[in-house]
């Protein structure tokens, strides 16, 4: 009985090593704005309907972010397999930086429901999310 439970967990990807995490690098493209204004903000992704399964990464001045997942109390590099919705979370560390970031990103990109941004893992390790002005 116990062996059967262990085999079931291993088959589901939750064995002793835990689920698989795939490396994901997101590059933000802001055609009508300055992507550097987003430096210090965060790309946040979550499985639609299960926001407990999520990952995030801090955006650099070049618009890139490496995604990491908090899993079982540890930060793991990469993302579990799945289809995710994405949003931008503006940095609130500095009032001026927050103001610049808010001007660079339309408000629709700040919410999972309205952003229209999706990420599928492990389809691609390099993902470009284009933020348009409309």
- What are the C-alpha distances in Å from 25 to residues 10, 16, 105, 108? 27, 26, 20, 22
pTM of the predicted structure, to 2 decimals: 0.81
pLDDT digit string, tens, across residues 21-59: 999 999 999 887 789 999 999 999 999 888 789 999 999
Query: Which residue's structure tokens are 């940095």?
Result: 91
Question: Does residue 92 belong to any structural domain of this protein?
Answer: yes
Question: Does residue 5 belong to any structural domain of this protein?
Answer: no
Question: Does residue 75 belong to any structural domain of this protein?
Answer: yes
pLDDT digit string, tens, across residues 59-104: 999 999 999 999 989 999 999 999 999 999 999 888 988 998 898 8
Provide CB contacts within 8 A for 83, sequence distance 6+: 47, 48, 118, 119, 120
Instruction: Give the residue numbers spanning the domain of 97.
Output: 20-130
Question: Does residue 10 belong to any structural domain of this protein?
Answer: no
Question: Does residue 14 belong to any structural domain of this protein?
Answer: no
What pLDDT shows up at residue 77? 95
Question: Does residue 8 belong to any structural domain of this protein?
Answer: no
CATH (domain of 67) = 2.60.40
Question: Does residue 109 belong to any structural domain of this protein?
Answer: yes
Among candidates 85, 74, 87, which has minimal Cα distance to 19?
74
Question: Does residue 89 belong to any structural domain of this protein?
Answer: yes
């Amino acid at each position: 009985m116990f062996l059967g439970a262990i085999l079931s967990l291993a088959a589901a990807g939750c064995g002793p090593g835990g689920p698989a995490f795939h490396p994901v690098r997101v590059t933000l493209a802001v055609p009508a704005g300055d992507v550097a204004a987003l430096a210090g903000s965060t790309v946040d992704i979550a499985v639609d309907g299960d926001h407990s399964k999520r990952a995030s990464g801090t955006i650099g001045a070049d618009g890139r972010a490496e995604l990491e997942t908090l899993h079982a109390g540890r930060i793991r590099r990469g993302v579990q397999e799945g289809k995710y919705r994405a949003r931008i979370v503006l940095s609130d560390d500095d009032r001026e930086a927050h103001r610049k970031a808010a001007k660079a990103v339309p408000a629709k990109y700040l919410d999972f429901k309205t952003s229209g941004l999706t990420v599928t893992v492990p389809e691609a390790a390099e993902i470009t999310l284009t933020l348009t002005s409309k």
